Chains A and B, each alone.
Chain A
Amino acid sequence: MSVGDLRVFADYQRDFREEADVVVVGSGPGGAVVARELTEAGKRVVLIEEGPPFTPQDFVVDGGLSMARTLREGGLRSTLGTVMPTMQAIALGGGSLVNSAICNRAPDFVLERWCGDFELARTSLADLDPHYDAVGKLVGISPTPENVQGRRNLLFRDGCDALGFESEPISRNVRGCRGSGECFTGCRARAKQSMDLTCVPDALRGGATVLTSARVEAVECDGRRATGVVGRAVAPFSGRPSHRFRVRGRAVVLAAGCMATPVLLQKSGNLANRSGQVGRNLQFHPGVGVMGVFPDPVDPQFGATQGYQSRQFLREGFKLETLWAPPALLAVRLPGSGLELKRRLADVPHAAVWDAIASCDRSLGRVEARRRSFDPRITWRLHPEDTPILAHAIYRLAEIFFAAGARSVLCGLHGFPDEIHSLAEAEPLRSRPLRPGDLVLGGNHAFCTTRMHGDPTLGVVDELGRCHDLENLWIADSGVFPRCPSVNPMWTIMALARRTAHALAGRL
């Protein structure tokens, strides 16, 4: 069916060169959309991805081994400073292969702040809506149907209803979900419309060349123009380098992700960094999870991975949502050991896990290249004034659990009872200050390391994604966000990437 050319590691038998109109680095939600839109506009595109394509035969349902295969640093990447695991995928399709497909438009008030604080003129919701609509149609974004919610998602709705909190089914890029809850290990039902199933095949149909298992190691420049990229083929999983390649293009789009893109710029001679902002301003949506145990079976293995959410508290700094993951990953956060731990494991069929992601925009970090590695050194600190946001979120989750009928709640906090049986026991969350080390955090949404800003001295790219310093180098990943978006970022990444692609196509 394809008229383009897809290459995998076994196809690389010697060093090679390619030419294109546009070189796109990274095949996640940013890069894949750019590649698709540019091929549709008739441009010759080479899309380069460091990870391999995964077929259903390559999926592993075991949580640990799946992470080791699909995530950078085997899923063990974490920040320094405030220690927090953070996951970035290494696969064709990027994070869309292993995320839970949540799609939210950035809230109006967030985009207004972006425009006001970062001198952006065309990034309001009205400006982005056409792009949101177009990519939403492309990847089938729609609310999760009730018949695949499963009880653990519907209990969240019931709890919110009982308290009068707003809640809604999560919109996802999914067609034909069967409720297997396996989003994190690869959708065996082929229902999730990840980039490897949607935009990459579209780009191939449009004539793109897709190089997988190919790591870009530097962007080449001539004066104020990028001329292409160089890199090496790398073996899947081991990362063992083999043949070298060079791809020349009239424009280069970096969409390697918020961690890898700044590292690539730093390793290319500190490129595009007259502002000094490359790798700085790192923000996350740090997340906390809370487990509730119900008197009756919840059968949590059935249901959409993340099917319901509440945006009731967005302006207070957090969003609440349901969550499921491979049981092994959920068990990681159960307290205790020995027979006590086993008793809690036996509660899992009666349990639901819900989480909160927080907008901690005072908590900043940076991404720096390591000398002999392409893995970044990530430093980030949870700001003391952001800690109460997370404590408040945990309290609200406990409140929803008890309103939904939970008999106990496990908050997962150091220095706090392992298990509480009433909301009154959660009251200390509202009065006692928490230290960052008391929280078990996870942060998979990362932003701002190549942020957009209208002022070239304060940002790396303009609001269309073009680098202020180089006229034909563009960036299209979550690094361009000027501040965290308060909601799951994938749809916004795709919308901004589409806008970037159209702006770039118009200039070629």
Chain B
Amino acid sequence: MPRVAAPVASVRSDRIRLCFAAMWGGMLFALLGLLAVWLPARLFAGYPAPAVPPRVLSRRELATLAAVGDVLFPAGGAVAPSGTQASIPAYVDRLVAAAQPRQRWLMRALFALVEHATLLFPAPGGPSGLRRFSRLAPDQREAVLAGWQHSGWFPRRLVFTSLRALCALGYFADPAVLRSLRLAPYRIDTPICEADLLYPPIGASRNGIAYGPEDLTPPSDGTPLALDGPWMPGFAEEPR
């Protein structure tokens, strides 16, 4: 069969398609390039180094906790210390370190979710509301947490409840907070009972049992603790 030349219109159309493909490809490439720069920057850059080296949490997790803690417990008000003054991030770091791997993973996933979910649930204020949680302005942070707290969707409320629970645990671990609310634990002179002759402290072997029969003391006689009695060492600023 004689060879038939392609019509001029068809050749042009192929060229246009090629141009479009190159343009889309270039845009996609540029987008991926931007993403490759933006993603690590969003995830890792610009977090301040903590004053005390943490046990397990990263500096970005500590920054998230500090930001959340100060929204939940701002400075001033009826109980003076703020979340960061009450060392919420350091406490949660201890708590996460004490947790088993699965729970540790869950807690850390929670912190990452809150830090970056502003992409899905942005704070008010236009494009700045898409910044990660710890980079938002204080009023934007409040709005974001209120969104979690009052959501009609139970899983979102659960995120807020879990986060607030962890921060509340940290806030109430601070002796100054407990003192100001008169909720510090009492000093109790623990009697030595027969069972104390059986068990070593955790981590020690049986040779580490601290007491012998000569150390036994009378059991508690049920005398009520005095309401204004002394606080446990470590919680008392000075003896009352």
Contact = CB atoms under 8 A, between A and B. Distances in A.
B220 A189 contact: yes
Given A201-B194, A338-B71, A190 B219 contact: yes
* B: contact size bracket: 35 or more
Interface in B71-94: 71-74, 76-79, 91, 94
Given A201-B195, A328-B169, A437-B154, A301 B222 contact: no
B205 A11 contact: yes
A52 B202 contact: yes
Interface string A319-334: 0000000111101101
A341 B219 CA distance: 41
A188 interface: yes
Contacts of A73: 100, 102-103
B222 A145 contact: yes
Chain B CB within 10 Å — which of A1, A300, A337, A375 has the most?
Answer: A337
Contacts of A61: 185, 232
Nearest to B218: A176
B98 A69 contact: yes
Interface in A420-443: 437, 440
Contacts, number: 207
Chain A CB within 10 Å — which of B74, B77, B154, B222 has the most?
Answer: B222
Nearest to B172: A328
B172 A7 contact: no
B72 to A, nearest CB: 5
Interface in A5-57: 6-11, 52-57
Contacts of A68: 95, 98-99
Given A10-B200, A337-B149, A338-B142, 19 more contacts: A1-B213, A8-B205, A53-B199, A56-B196, A65-B94, A65-B98, A74-B99, A178-B223, A189-B191, A190-B190, A190-B191, A190-B196, A191-B219, A201-B195, A236-B203, A239-B100, A302-B225, A327-B183, A338-B72
Interface of B: 71-74, 76-79, 91, 94-95, 98-100, 102-103, 106-107, 142, 145-146, 149, 154, 157-158, 161, 164-166, 168-173, 178, 181-186, 188, 190-191, 193-206, 208, 210, 213, 219-225, 227, 232
Interface of A: 1-2, 6-11, 52-58, 61-65, 68-69, 73-74, 76, 83, 92, 145, 147-148, 175-180, 182, 188-191, 196-197, 200-201, 204, 236-239, 299-302, 326-329, 331-332, 334, 337-339, 341-343, 345-346, 348-349, 373, 375, 414, 437, 440
